Amino acid sequence: MLKRGEEMQRDLWTSLLLVWITCVPYSSMAPLNNQSQSLQTASATIPRNWPSEGQRILSRAKRGWVWNQMFVLEEFSGPDPILVGRLHTDLDMGNKNIKYVLAGEGAGTIFAINERTGDIHAMKRLDREEKAEYTLTAQVIDRDTNQPLEPPSEFIIKVQDINDNPPQFNEGPYKGSVPEISQVGTSVTRVTATDADDPVYGNSARLVYSILEGQPYFSIDQTTAVIRVALAGMDREMREEYLVVIQAKDMGGHMGGLSGTTTVTVTLTDINDNPPKFTKGSYEFTIPEDLGIGKPGGRVKANDRDIGENAKSTYSIIGGDERDIFEIVTDAQSQEGILRLKKPLDFESKKSYNLTVVATNIRADSITGGPYMDQAMVKVIVEDADEPPVFTKSTYLFDVHENAAINTVIGAVAARDQDTTHSQVRYFIDRHTDLERQFNINVDDGKITLAKRLDRETDMWHNITVTATEVRNHSQISRVTVAIKVLDINDNAPEFANEYEAFLCENGKPGQVIQTISAVDKDNPSQGHTFHYRLEMLNNPNFTIKNNLDNSISVLAKHDSFRRQKQDTYLLPIIVTDNGEPPMSSTNTLTIRVCGCSREGIVQSCNVEAFVLPIGLSMGALIAILACIILLLVIMVLFVTLRRHKNEPLIIKDDEDVRENIIRYDDEGGGEEDTEAFDIATLQNPDGINGYLDLTSKRHGPFAFVHITCVLCYGDVRHCCLKGGVGAFFKNFLERHNSISHLPHQSAS
């Protein structure tokens, strides 16, 4: 390797020397318009004196030098700086006052210029991938005055590429997939490599792809890098995954080029190219005849080498199940076929079945066709089981009349043992359904008899449960429901639908309807009820009945002379008869009360004592009168009590003037005209002059303090009432009834 590096370095220096030998002569001889050379020079006349600022240049100044661009190889690392090129002006006639100045990108750091000769050297190792070109400015100035001798000019130094970057797969490693059994040339995936070298200069970035590992299964297009299937009939079930190594080489794949590699993992995807296959050609299951509906009786399995949806199968029965007794379903987890019962088995009728079962792929494939299937034989052997007795009916319905005698046979149930042993059966009534023990059953023949009398009006239906048990095996029990309907007989008499109470107005007219009456009957004849009504007293002097033709009657009054003073209540017996066989009847009594009614016929009072009250006097007025009478009695008691104490002074005398005792009351005085309303003499003599206190005077007696304002007199008896309120009411009441017309006028004030 060291020897090879020295040879490459020697070849590089040789190439640079040849370029330099070729370019230097042409730099002084090439024409002005030749743009293909690296460096060009020409002669030109440059005016010595520059126009001052603001002056207009009317003629174009002729350039002192001309060049296109300079080139320098990247990655050069020789012992001396590499010469990039030389600047020259026609002003340079060997005059030592000329000075070359370089400015711009990298001037002074990367690139240096000889002030006297104009030679430009690269001082550092350059990398084109970091920066491909540099723009610089060259100018000639006077060494003594530092004044420019001609305008500055730009030029470009380009870094020439060398093949120093290998190809790289930035997105690797890759993964691809292709269906198994794909045809040759089927695209798998595409890879992409990049090269940092210059793609437009030489072949440094021209890549060529190849497969290092993965033949003969896959191939790659050397320019597009598309990986394709190269071998037909690749089977996923044989090998599912392949590792392919891809190489990208620059320099067009020639010797000396750089290369990079990546890996591609290619997976063969599954297609439905394998049929399901039963593990056995035939299966045999033994199923007891008492296996429940929907219970599994056996499992079959068909394996498939495919995976996923391609491996899923569905099972079906295509033969041997003429009576549609079995079904087979797929277990989604284990992909097994589960044989189940759709109808119960009967060992006594058929002891075995031969079924043909098929497993079929769910999905078909467009490449291989399908779907695929496989079939197997399944033999089912029915195993005899000790079954409970079976009743001849699922339910029994009997009827019996409610007047049936005890031990009457209502009906019979029957059950038999279907096993080959044909065990004897015994019958029993489940007493939880016959708590009152109204029925009995014969344990041997299943006849149901009546144990107690029935009443349809109490219970119309009786539902009992009868059990049948094998004598040989008491654990084998069957049950059946027996419904017993109680038939009706006419054993109930009709009666009033309600407890009627009628009201009769004193001022009613003859023929007025007092009450409408209907009847009910607990019996339920098939033709419906028809009731007949009649009065117990056929020629009742006060009342009569009218048939309304709807199983109801109306009670009517015969006259209008009903009075509460005479009789306030009437009892009217009515006989009701049904149309049963035999007919049943009952006597019901209607209570009729005589009441006082308004002119509109509205009942107001049905009390016997109500007739003594004044007509038109309301109950509120009576309560007010009663309250006034009680108040009057209280006042009379107070008056009598005061009369007994008339000898006792009302005012206690002492040495002090009685006028100092101030008595306040709410009566308004008479003003100036009432200055002598209560004189001292009168107060000191409360009994009056003659021992008699005039209660009619406002100024005398103790009643002055309670506002006694009026006196009503009946002969020698004096009564007092308070002013206004109850007193006024009582006064008006007595005047209205002419009770106080003889009283003096002044006493009613």
Q: Which of 190-204, 296-310, 686-700 has maximum average pLDDT?
A: 296-310
User: Domains in the chain, start-ordered, CATH in brackets?
Assistant: 69-160 (2.60.40.60), 168-269 (2.60.40.60), 277-383 (2.60.40.60), 390-487 (2.60.40.60), 495-605 (2.60.40.60)
Q: Within 10 A of 568 (CB to CB), how many other CB atoms are there? A: 19
Specify the DSSP class assigned to residue 405. Answer: P
Instruction: Convert the pLDDT of each residue in 287-305 to its tens digit.
Output: 998 888 999 999 999 999 9
- Which of 580, 496, 581, 574 is closest to 533 using CA atoms? 574
**What does the alpha-carbon distance between residue 351 and residue 298 come to, in Å, rounded to a whole number?**
17
Instruction: Convert the pLDDT of each residue in 195-236 to its tens digit.
Output: 888 787 778 888 999 999 999 999 999 999 999 999 998 999
Q: How far is CA 646 from CA 596, 683, 693, 704, 712, in A?
A: 53, 13, 9, 15, 21
Instruction: Convert the pLDDT of each residue in 594-610 to its tens digit.
Output: 998 887 778 878 875 54
What pLDDT does 612 receive? 44
Instruction: Convert the pLDDT of each residue in 30-48 to its tens digit.
Output: 332 333 233 333 323 233 3
- Which of 27, 125, 144 is closest to 85 using CA atoms? 27
Report phi then psi at 308, rounded to 5.
Answer: 65, -140
What tokens were used for 55?
Answer: 């002056």
**What does the alpha-carbon distance between residue 448 and residue 722 come to, in Å, rounded to a whole number?**
93
Tell me the pairing of strands 603-605 and 174-179: unpaired
What pLDDT does 386 receive? 74
What pLDDT does 735 receive? 53
Per-residue confidence band for 649, with pLDDT thresholds at 50, 70 and 90: low
What pLDDT does 227 receive? 95
Q: Which of 90-99, 372-381, 667-676 has maximum average pLDDT?
A: 372-381
Quickly list H helices, 163-209.
none
Q: Which residues of 476-501 are buried (b: 16+ CB within 10 A; e: fewer)?
A: bebebbbebebebbbebbbebeeebe
What pLDDT does 717 receive? 36
User: Is the distance from CB of 156 to CB of 105 less than 8 angstroms?
Assistant: no
pTM here is: 0.44
pLDDT at position 623 over 90: no
Quickly list H helices, 249-351.
none
What pLDDT does 484 receive? 94
Q: Which residues of 51-69 are buried (b: 16+ CB within 10 A; e: fewer)?
A: eeeeeeeeeeeebbbbbee
Name beta bridge partners: 134. Answer: 157
Name beta bridge partners: 483. Answer: 397, 463
Quickly list H helices, 124-242.
none
What tokens were used for 697?
Answer: 């005077």
What pLDDT does 395 receive? 94
121 or 739, greater pLDDT: 121
Instruction: Convert the pLDDT of each residue in 66-125 to its tens digit.
Output: 455 788 877 777 777 888 888 887 777 776 788 889 998 888 888 888 888 888 888 888
Per-residue confidence band for 438, with pLDDT thresholds at 50, 70 and 90: very high
Instruction: Convert the pLDDT of each residue in 580-597 to its tens digit.
Output: 878 889 999 999 899 988
**What does the alpha-carbon distance between residue 157 and residue 71 come to, in Å, rounded to a whole number?**
6
Instruction: Convert the pLDDT of each residue in 237-246 to its tens digit.
Output: 999 999 999 9
- As a whole number, mean pLDDT of residues 409-415 equals 94
50 or 668, greater pLDDT: 668
How would you classify residue 596: left for phi > 0, otherwise alpha for psi between -120 and 50, otherwise beta? beta
Q: Across all residues in the chain, what is the average pLDDT? A: 77
pLDDT at position 564 over 90: no
Mean pLDDT lowest among 199-208, 354-363, 535-544: 199-208
What pLDDT does 4 receive? 43
What tokens were used for 79?
Answer: 């012992």
- As a whole number, mean pLDDT of residues 261-267 equals 95
Contact partners, residue 388, CB within 8 Å, separation at least 6 = 468, 470, 476, 477, 478
**Cα 666 to the chain's mean position, in Å?**
80
Name beta bridge partners: 470. Answer: 425
pLDDT at position 736 over 70: no
pLDDT at position 27 over 70: no
Find the largest Cα–Cα distance for the chain. Answer: 184
**Cα 198 to the chain's mean position, in Å?**
67
**Neighbour order of strands in the sheet with 119-122:** 82-86, 119-122, 111-113
pLDDT at position 378 over 70: yes
Percentage of the chain modeled with pLDDT above 70? 74
Instruction: Convert the pLDDT of each residue in 499-513 to its tens digit.
Output: 888 888 887 788 888
In the chain, what is the straight-line distance between the N-terminal and C-terminal CA atoms, in Å?
159
How would you classify residue 461: left for phi > 0, otherwise alpha for psi between -120 and 50, otherwise beta? beta
- Which of 720, 715, 723, 724 is closest to 743 using CA atoms? 715
**Cα 7 to the chain's mean position, in Å?**
84
**What does the alpha-carbon distance between residue 205 and residue 185 come to, in Å, rounded to a whole number?**
28
**What does the alpha-carbon distance between residue 337 and residue 359 come to, in Å, rounded to a whole number?**
8
Per-residue confidence band for 693, with pLDDT thresholds at 50, 70 and 90: very low
pLDDT at position 734 over 90: no
What pLDDT does 608 receive? 58
pLDDT at position 627 over 50: yes
- As a whole number, mean pLDDT of residues 175-195 equals 93
| Three-class DSSP category at 660 | helix
Contact partners, residue 220, CB within 8 Å, separation at least 6 = 191, 209, 210, 211, 226, 227, 228, 246
pLDDT at position 624 over 90: no
Instruction: Convert the pLDDT of each residue in 46-60 to its tens digit.
Output: 333 333 333 333 444
